[in-house]
Structure 1
Amino acid sequence: MNTARTSSALPLRGLFGGRRDARGLRVIVTGASGTFGRALCAELTGLGARVIGLDLAPRPDDPVDVLACDITDDAEVPAMVATALDRLGGLDLLINNAGIGGPAPAELPPGAEVRRQLDINLLGTWRVTAACVDALVASRGRVVMVSSRMAAMQLPLAAAYGASKRALVAYADALRMEIGTHVAVTCVYPSAVRSPIHDSTAAAGLSLEGMSSYEPLEGVVDTVLRAALGRRVRRDLPTTRRGAVEFFLARHLPRVTDRIIARTLAGRARGGAFEGAELAAGVVRRHTEAP
């Protein structure tokens, strides 16, 4: 994994008037045993925060105490959140980081993979947040949603992930309207970081290579921390300058991004990038057969 800072990363220090002191902050991080989660937990702990993680499969070498929690389970989520709140003595910051990806062409009927992504990425976040609302209101805390560039700019053959992340942002907007008088809600939009989240897509022959530019993990972590600790509360935060441009274009000039993505997809289909990928058969056929 490439974690070196690049010139496109947006550093935490020195932006928007600095940051709050993290010492003593009570924090819950979901997906705490994954690539982003472990890095976030380590950074926050190093800054003096008290962090408890939630994850389906905690690891023995996790940098913080991680509670085993299936965020698709309606009964387990409030129970595990209550345990975390009891140990922390309240809550100042919730980072909704848990999420999965996977192949899901929009032209095919939704199956188990689609339901799984929606349940984890959207409903799992909803369950955890709902269980934390009272504690966050009491502390005038913050919620950070780790969304995706695909919430604004959809990529082909991954409809479930994009739909779940766009819906996550809609949920965040509704949450902000309801509890924003007491709790800050920020969405962070990473582009693509090399991590196991892409493994199932690559195994299906639908790799992101050629469709996305990868960014360093460190830049994503910095941006999440800026959302969590920055003195100025931000509504939306892309993680790189390139991501900020893509975010602007997707929101204000969507036809431009549509054309760019469509042209890239056509080139990949004609160049054999999806050879043998059953899920991409329709795309390949439409781009390679004679008119």
Structure 2
Amino acid sequence: MSSPNPRRAVPSGRLRDPRGLRVLVTGASGTFGRAISARLAGLGAHVVGLDVAPRPDDPVEVLACDLTDDAGVPVAVAAALDRLGGLDVLVNNAGIGGPAPAELPPGQEVRRQLDINLLGTWRVTAACVDALVASRGRVVMLSSRMAVMQLPLAAAYGASKRALVAYADALRLELGTHVGVTCVYPSAVRSPIHDSTAAAGLSLEGMSSYEPLEGVVGTVLRAALSRRAHRDLTTTRRGAVEFFLARHLPAVTDRIVARTLAGRVRSGAFEGAGLAAGVVRRHRDRG
């Protein structure tokens, strides 16, 4: 098992030549997907994307695909693989976030996040297995720091990303003789994925330190192009420390997050946020 490492420059001799590699990127019209696709295409890879809402200015060809559609996903993947002529790298990037307190019953928002983040990835990957085995390819899973260190009021996102890692682990065991599987763990990057959470009054501001998109893209490229498939990769030095603590000293990270949450409540950050009413009330009752 390789240890998670922060992004760093990797000598070219330790990377595969990206020219001509056949790459499929999900969520290719979003913030991460566009940047990943553009970088790989710029290096000479042949990249096709999937997205529920392709954009006219996408840097690569993007096919429309709803990852929640059991019947539609295999059709879209087949069309993408036909354009690529096979598959060397699958980048499972598609994902959504949103407010979902653990104390409330799971509703449509929770089901939507689990269906896209976990089951959508599962559907796409299953449709790609034969092509990946044939090429002895690589799967890159865009997970999250929240797969190992949960933040409050976002239970669905954390649960979906932790389950995604469990799925990746099973996939690695089943396909590992022929296919490498790497999980990448970004922290928070400024993007529209946080908009619905902020609109609900549950902004991540103060709970997370934002990192540059470039670091995430660089780590995805390292995962896709390293000659030896890494198991886990973090995207910053801070992320590597958080990953280690969350995996080996979870009580420590629990205390850190709980203390940060208490500070946010005291500052009035969640005033007027209905979804946080229970958290606010319980913190006030403690005194």
By the TM > 0.5 criterion, same fold? Answer: yes
> Unpaired segments of 5 or more residues in structure 1?
1-7
Q: Deviations over 1:2-46 (max 9, x none)?
A: xxxxxx97234338x521100000010000000000000000001
> Unpaired segments of 5 or more residues in structure 2?
none
TM-score (norm 2): 0.97
Verify: 1:26 aligned to 2:22, yes or no: yes
One-letter amino acid of the structure 2 residue matched with residue 14 of structure 1: P
| Alpha-carbon distance between aligned partners in 2 of 1:203 and 1:93, rounded to the nearest angstrom | 36
Verify: 1:201 aligned to 2:173, yes or no: no
Q: Indicate the residue corresponding to 1:142 in structure 2.
A: 138
Q: Indicate the residue corresponding to 2:70 in structure 1.
A: 74
Verify: 1:122 aligned to 2:118, yes or no: yes
Determine what percentage of the aligned residue pairs are the same residue.
83
| Alpha-carbon distance between aligned partners in 1 of 2:260 and 2:23, rounded to the nearest angstrom | 41
Verify: 1:183 aligned to 2:183, yes or no: no
Q: Indicate the residue corresponding to 1:11 in structure 2.
A: 8
Query: How far 1:290 moved relative to its partner?
Result: 5.3
After the TM superposition, which residues 97-176 of structure 1 pair with which residues of structure 2 at under 5 Å, given as runs? 97-176=93-172
| Alpha-carbon distance between aligned partners in 2 of 1:261 and 1:49, rounded to the nearest angstrom | 40
Q: Indicate the residue corresponding to 2:45 in structure 1.
A: 49
Q: Indicate the residue corresponding to 2:31 in structure 1.
A: 35
One-letter amino acid of the structure 2 residue matched with residue 44 of structure 1: L
| Alpha-carbon distance between aligned partners in 1 of 2:101 and 2:158, rounded to the nearest angstrom | 11
| Alpha-carbon distance between aligned partners in 2 of 1:145 and 1:214, rounded to the nearest angstrom | 20
Q: Indicate the residue corresponding to 1:5 in structure 2.
A: none
Query: How far 1:231 moved relative to its partner?
Result: 1.7
Q: Indicate the residue corresponding to 2:218 in structure 1.
A: 222
**Correspondence for 1:264 among 260, 269, 286:** 260
Query: How far 1:271 moved relative to its partner?
Result: 1.2
| Alpha-carbon distance between aligned partners in 1 of 2:218 and 2:234, rounded to the nearest angstrom | 11
Query: How far 1:232 moved relative to its partner?
Result: 2.5
Tell me if structure 2 keeps the 8 A contact 1:206–1:280: yes
| Alpha-carbon distance between aligned partners in 2 of 1:86 and 1:104, rounded to the nearest angstrom | 39
Tell me if structure 2 keeps the 8 A contact 1:28–1:54: yes
One-letter amino acid of the structure 1 residue matched with residue 45 of structure 2: A
Deviation >3 Å, runs of 4+:
none
Q: Deviations over 1:91-127 (max 9, x none)?
A: 0000000000000000000000000000000000000
Tell me if structure 2 keeps the 8 A contact 1:12–1:225: no
**Cα root mean square deviation, aligned:** 1.2
One-letter amino acid of the structure 2 residue matched with residue 218 of structure 1: E
One-letter amino acid of the structure 1 residue matched with residue 185 of structure 2: Y
Between 225-234 and 159-168, the greater mean CA deviation after superposition: 225-234
- In structure 2, the residue corresponding to 1:95 is in which secondary structure? strand
One-letter amino acid of the structure 2 residue matched with residue 52 of structure 1: V
Tell me if structure 2 keeps the 8 A contact 1:27–1:94: yes
| Alpha-carbon distance between aligned partners in 2 of 1:181 and 1:48, rounded to the nearest angstrom | 27
**Correspondence for 2:279 among 260, 263, 283:** 283
Tell me if structure 1 keeps the 8 A contact 2:87–2:132: yes
| Alpha-carbon distance between aligned partners in 1 of 2:130 and 2:6, rounded to the nearest angstrom | 35
- In structure 2, the residue corresponding to 1:289 is in which secondary structure? helix
One-letter amino acid of the structure 2 residue matched with residue 67 of structure 1: L
- In structure 1, the residue corresponding to 2:251 is in which secondary structure? helix
Tell me if structure 2 keeps the 8 A contact 1:104–1:113: yes
TM-score (norm 1): 0.95
- In structure 2, the residue corresponding to 1:135 is in which secondary structure? helix
Tell me if structure 2 keeps the 8 A contact 1:94–1:143: yes
Tell me if structure 1 keeps the 8 A contact 2:182–2:232: yes
